[in-house]
Structure 1
Amino acid sequence: MSKGLLTAFKRLDRLLGNRRQLFELGLLLLIMGVAFTIRVLPMRWGVTLSEFDPWVQYKEAMYIIERGWSGFSEFFTWHDTESWYPWGRDMGRTAFPGIPFAMAFIYLLLKSVGLSPDPLELASILPVVYSLAGVALMYFLGRQVAGSATGLAAALFIAVSNSNISRNHLGWFDDESLSIPLMLLGFTAYLAALKEGRTVRGVVAYSLLAGGAMGAMAASWGAHKFPLALIPFFAVIASLLGKYSTRLLIATSTAFSTYTLIAMSVPKLGPSYIFETTLFSGFIGVGILLIFEIANRYIPPQSRRLFIGGLFVAAAIFFSAAVLLGVLGVPGLKFLSVALPQLRDALPIVISVAENQVPTWSIIFSDLGIFLIMAPFGVYLFLRRGGLPSLFIVIYTILSVYFASSMVRLSLIAAPAVALAAGYAFTYLFSQLGAIMSSVRAVRRRGQTIPLGYSFITPAILILLLGYSLLPAAYGGLNLRGEVSISPVDQGYQPVTLVTGSFPTRSVLADWMRALEWMKANLPPDAVVMSWWDYGYWITVVGGHKTLVDNGTLNSTQIGEVAYAFMSPPATAVEVLRRHDVTHVVIFVTHQFVSQGGQTFGRLLGFGDEGKWIWMLRIANQVGYKFVESEYLDSNFQPTQKFWDSTLMGQLIPYKPQQTQFGLGHFYNPSNLENFRLVYASSPPYNSLAYVYVYEVVYPQL
């Protein structure tokens, strides 16, 4: 016992005796501290979940926790009757289990050792914990590719990345918070498996770790297709560039088979998932690697190029034929539209969500920050450096930045690549400066002088730009058009959506919280609530009542029915609601009222249903109803009088248009509807910016 303890102390002494490692560890812990501080800034407004999807993840985790360890198996037979009324939802077959399973496992493990954390607080803090793991893994990935200095720079850059912060801050209990660290672990382990001199046993071990991490990511995140397809795609490109080795075949085939088996075991994906194009392309990739292996072993050098080229063309023809004949399923339009953004116009349900739209340059710059400027130079340096890890990062960076420029939410996948490329460029410039200064000192010792000239200019500019990009807008930091800040502090220092009443502000607007509490306490247990799908999770999970549609957007036909009801005249809408047993209708309206110098002016702001109704019209058209958009929307993109007079939504919005000396305004003038009785308003007129209205449906006698 004492001998083992002495050995442990000796190892610790050797570790601490290595000052370089100790210094790197200290810097990494400091960077993780910065990441933690930024991501817990929303705690100022309380601890709860952010946005919408985290609430259903929390609901799924609580289902398991309430049943104990058996809940993990019962989850896959769970039919939820509170959502998508009257059909309900098979949660085990329509939801990714990764996030709720991870939380339930952690909670039950803590409970088994006598600790009982509050589940909501645990769900809120876990994304921050996952983000710290992501920062550490970013360091190891950077060190694997280009050394410790690059790893530390990449860790710092991902710690202050707006895109990364937006998806793993306090309360963001959703897929991406866990999936990005798992993706980084998978990439790091895969590149470790490719390291020169690695034994076969080591290659297999690291590849299994990579496959396990990527498989867990596939069980957690719908956007897993790109990371899974990237590994075999990279292996094929590397082989075509003359970098094939048996080690590449073993690592790729082991990782691919591992994460494919895990993905197939997820009920939402199922065994048939192997016939989906993006995953099946991995089989083609491994097959091409086998062709290279056979060529290297059995084909004479003078015939290898012809042999490989012929079989490569045959594989491409086979793959294309399988897709055209329908043997392989193509990804849905939502995923295809990432590569071909013009396809998104055919999907109003998808494009109605801001994060699914094509980003503007200001959004891209805000998400990826000043590091986007340094990334191209980093890509060039990686190309010049050569080697498999460098090639992997180059391919990852180019593809992910392209996809991020196609869809707002995909900047999250590009953020690690940009951080790594920028980190390498950053450390290279400073290493060059260090080399120049060392040579200057050596020359000065010989009594000569060499002017440093412009050697300091580029690093100094980078430091100034980086420092300025971190500065909050309130202290003079960059704020594009007064709307988009590039400061990570501004990104982190925001209350969660429920606290702000789903309104873009840093103030507490308790309207949605009050409305949900009122619904939970006052609506009858069998109430069925119709709202636009944005608020479905809130009404079901927090408000405790059945809804027709929610943020899962599982049934576009039912969403179209809700859209049709809102866009129809009240008499028609009542019959649609009767078919679905709807008892109450909820709408959300944002309105600003200003009184100054004896003058008053009010206007709808467009953040609520008064701005979303156009998507209701388009989605209703998508499922087969016929609305002429120009009859409801004028050339100035304002709703016409027909919208206000002839649609249920126009009638339910209590603020009606009225011309004033300031232009078109909107004033409180609720309609007197025979079949819809207002039973709750979250705030009196003109007393808030966000209003939730609950109407009871009064059906006419048949």
Structure 2
Amino acid sequence: MLSKGSAGNKGSAGKTPPTSTKSARAARTEKEATAVDDSSVESVYFLNAFPIPNSVLRTSRVCVLSLLMVTGTLEAYTLRLIPIHIYGKVIHEFDPWFNFRASEYLDEHGWDAFFHWYDYMSWYPLGRPVGTTIFPGLQITSVLIRRALSMLGVSMTMNDVCCLIPAWFGSVATVLAALLAYETWGSFSGAAMTAGLFAILPAHLMRSMAGEYDNECIAMAAMLLTFYLWVRSLRNAGSWPIGVLTGLAYGYMVSTWGGFIFVLNMVALHAAVCVFADWLRGRYDASLLWAYSLFFVVGTAVATRVPPVGWTPFKSLEQLMALLVFIFMWALHFSEILRRRADVPICSTKALRIRARVFMITCGVLVLAAALLAPQGYFGPLSSRVRALFVQHTRTGNPLVDSVAEHMPTSADAFWSYFHICLPGSLLGFFCHPLFMLCAVPPREVVHSAVLPGRLLFLDKNEPADAAFRARCGCFDWQYAGWGHGPLRGLVVSSAVCV
């Protein structure tokens, strides 16, 4: 039996309640500080006889949860090595073999020859210009790892490195999922549980087993790293410089997988909703603008250097939302400067008129630019893969996309096969958590907060209104997964169901 006791005297009681708001806030702060001091000396009695200090219990809890996280990460790596233990270091399936050939070519011939390589063995007999059509992040990562190991005195063939990369990055993705859970909820227990669940999730296992040398094996880690750094850059008003790292992580994500469009739009969507919610609450914080601007500028600069992407961030319809969010956030910032010069309250009619004029001018300039560029064919249509999410299977107009079975609607059995025990828990969390948030909201002094694997996004936890938004985005995430096996198995929802 455990019972609480005290090893010292409590703070004095019977204080007169302050009358003013500032006095009440000061008294509450002093009371919380006193409670913290008391908790440091408070003890828990085991069997009503043996006192155990709370500090020992907290340290033991952190050690146990750390052990669980380390165990989950090691288990994730061990599970992904099973194919090697059974079949040896063999690359399996078709796309991984092409990726392996491309990695060998880059390692043997160098950077310049790789990006001018026309491979007659691909799409035989027509051939394929590999350097301008491939996302080179996987090959570059493999070559860098092999050469780094060689410099450290560890001799490994390119085949061995390519076989083990999925297991390595699968373990890294497990750690990043745990960090994202901790940054989101502030719970070390939740982070440990996320690591344990993500390590054994079938949706991620099937893309990160040893020998599964495909783009998704490292793209999941890159996506989670981008999401984690984005959330971290919004922790408080002084953490916005982390947006530079977010942009670099996004640039790496662009070089590894075509699913970077999902990451870009989710970050842009979350930033837009944060700005809109701040507007409704009658406040403005420039830290969100700096964080998003650094992410967008740095990330887009890196993305334009990836051959298959080029200048599509400024032309492709599925990527223009991020650019529009960037423009309107700066328009809002300019209107805020004008409002402060006019010295009017942020919720006043005059402030609304200032913002309306700035937005009308911005919209007019954008409409004029679109009217001039659209007739010249500047804007490209939606890609076939994106159209496949909204039109019936086999009707996208692209035979290559139509022939892929992954674009067929997802069956109910597939959800259980990919998510298993995480499925009921995630559904319960998506639909029930907003109800708990409406009833009891834990205080947390942050500028913004976010849950961003998939479309599970939200704002400050102090605001109950964000619960409805979070539930809606969670439901939309499942709808997105239901459009096809590719998004579901392509890891879009796998981290969300664990977090």
Aligned residues of 2:456 and 2:477 also touching (Cα < 8 A): no
* Counterpart code for 2:100: Y
Is 1:81 the equivalent of 2:120? yes
Q: Which residue of 2 aligns with 1:57?
A: 99
- For residue 167 of structure 1, report the CA deviation from its aligned partner: 0.6
- For residue 61 of structure 1, report the CA deviation from its aligned partner: 0.8
Q: Secondary structure of the equivalent of 1:104?
A: helix
Change in Cα spacing, 1:207 to 1:194, as seen in structure 2 (3 Å) is: same
- For residue 371 of structure 1, report the CA deviation from its aligned partner: 2.0
* Counterpart code for 1:177: C
Is 1:156 the equivalent of 2:196? yes
TM alignment of 1:478-489, pairs within 5 A: none
- For residue 56 of structure 1, report the CA deviation from its aligned partner: 1.1
- For residue 214 of structure 1, report the CA deviation from its aligned partner: 1.0
Is 1:252 the equivalent of 2:288? no
Q: Distance in 2 between matches of 1:155 and 1:366?
A: 19
Q: Distance in 1 between matches of 2:394 and 2:285?
A: 39
* Counterpart code for 1:358: P
Is 1:370 the equivalent of 2:431? no
Aligned residues of 1:382 and 1:390 also touching (Cα < 8 A): no
Is 1:303 the equivalent of 2:350? yes
Aligned residues of 1:97 and 1:219 also touching (Cα < 8 A): yes
Number of aligned residue pairs: give it: 400
- For residue 196 of structure 1, report the CA deviation from its aligned partner: 2.0
Q: Distance in 1 between matches of 2:393 and 2:357?
A: 34
Is 1:290 the equivalent of 2:330? yes
Aligned residues of 1:183 and 1:217 also touching (Cα < 8 A): yes
Change in Cα spacing, 1:344 to 1:29, as seen in structure 2 (3 Å) is: farther
Aligned residues of 1:264 and 1:270 also touching (Cα < 8 A): yes
Q: Which residue of 2 aligns with 1:93?
A: 132
- For residue 331 of structure 1, report the CA deviation from its aligned partner: 2.4
- For residue 118 of structure 1, report the CA deviation from its aligned partner: 2.7
Q: Which residue of 1 aligns with 2:76?
A: 35
Q: Which residue of 1 aligns with 2:493?
A: 414
Q: Distance in 2 between matches of 1:308 and 1:152?
A: 45
Q: Which residue of 2 aligns with 1:683?
A: none
The CA RMSD over aligned residues, in Å, is 2.9
Is 1:21 the equivalent of 2:62? yes
TM alignment of 1:140-151, pairs within 5 A: 140-147=179-186, 148-151=188-191
Aligned residues of 2:244 and 2:294 also touching (Cα < 8 A): yes
Q: Secondary structure of the equivalent of 1:267?
A: coil
Q: Which residue of 1 aligns with 2:456?
A: 394
Is 1:107 the equivalent of 2:181? no
- For residue 91 of structure 1, report the CA deviation from its aligned partner: 1.3
Q: Distance in 1 between matches of 2:355 and 2:481?
A: 34
* Counterpart code for 1:122: V
Q: Distance in 2 between matches of 1:177 and 1:323?
A: 39
Q: Which residue of 1 aligns with 2:50?
A: none
Change in Cα spacing, 1:397 to 1:155, as seen in structure 2 (3 Å) is: farther
* Counterpart code for 2:492: I
- For residue 258 of structure 1, report the CA deviation from its aligned partner: 1.1
- Residue deviations 1:507-535 (CA, integer Å, cap 9, x gap): xxxxxxxxxxxxxxxxxxxxxxxxxxxxx
Aligned residues of 2:394 and 2:403 also touching (Cα < 8 A): no
Aligned residues of 1:236 and 1:288 also touching (Cα < 8 A): no
TM-score (norm: length of structure 2)? 0.73
Q: Which residue of 2 aligns with 1:519?
A: none
Q: Distance in 2 between matches of 1:339 and 1:413?
A: 17
Q: Which residue of 2 aligns with 1:228?
A: 264
Change in Cα spacing, 1:261 to 1:77, as seen in structure 2 (3 Å) is: same
TM-score (norm: length of structure 1)? 0.53
Q: Distance in 2 between matches of 1:305 and 1:367?
A: 49
Is 1:351 the equivalent of 2:429? no
Q: Which residue of 2 aligns with 1:238?
A: 274
Aligned residues of 1:334 and 1:344 also touching (Cα < 8 A): no
Q: Distance in 1 between matches of 2:307 and 2:62?
A: 44
Q: Which residue of 2 aligns with 1:213?
A: 249
Q: Secondary structure of the equivalent of 1:241?
A: helix
Q: Distance in 2 between matches of 1:29 and 1:276?
A: 42
Aligned residues of 1:126 and 1:173 also touching (Cα < 8 A): yes
Q: Distance in 2 between matches of 1:141 and 1:161?
A: 17
* Counterpart code for 1:149: S
Change in Cα spacing, 1:360 to 1:307, as seen in structure 2 (3 Å) is: farther
- For residue 99 of structure 1, report the CA deviation from its aligned partner: 0.4
- For residue 137 of structure 1, report the CA deviation from its aligned partner: 0.4
Q: Distance in 2 between matches of 1:261 and 1:51?
A: 34
- For residue 127 of structure 1, report the CA deviation from its aligned partner: 0.3
Q: Secondary structure of the equivalent of 2:160?
A: helix
- For residue 87 of structure 1, report the CA deviation from its aligned partner: 4.1
Q: Which residue of 2 aligns with 1:484?
A: none
* Counterpart code for 2:118: H
Aligned residues of 1:128 and 1:168 also touching (Cα < 8 A): yes
Q: Distance in 2 between matches of 1:315 and 1:23?
A: 55
Larger Cα-atom Rg: 1
Deviates further, 74-83 or 181-190: 74-83
Is 1:262 the equivalent of 2:339? no
Aligned residues of 2:422 and 2:498 also touching (Cα < 8 A): yes
TM alignment of 1:574-589, pairs within 5 A: none
- Residue deviations 1:242-266 (CA, integer Å, cap 9, x gap): 2652111011110111111111001
- For residue 51 of structure 1, report the CA deviation from its aligned partner: 1.8
Q: Distance in 1 between matches of 2:176 and 2:208?
A: 15
User: Normalized per residue, which structure has more strand?
Assistant: 1
Change in Cα spacing, 1:331 to 1:112, as seen in structure 2 (3 Å) is: same
* Counterpart code for 2:493: A
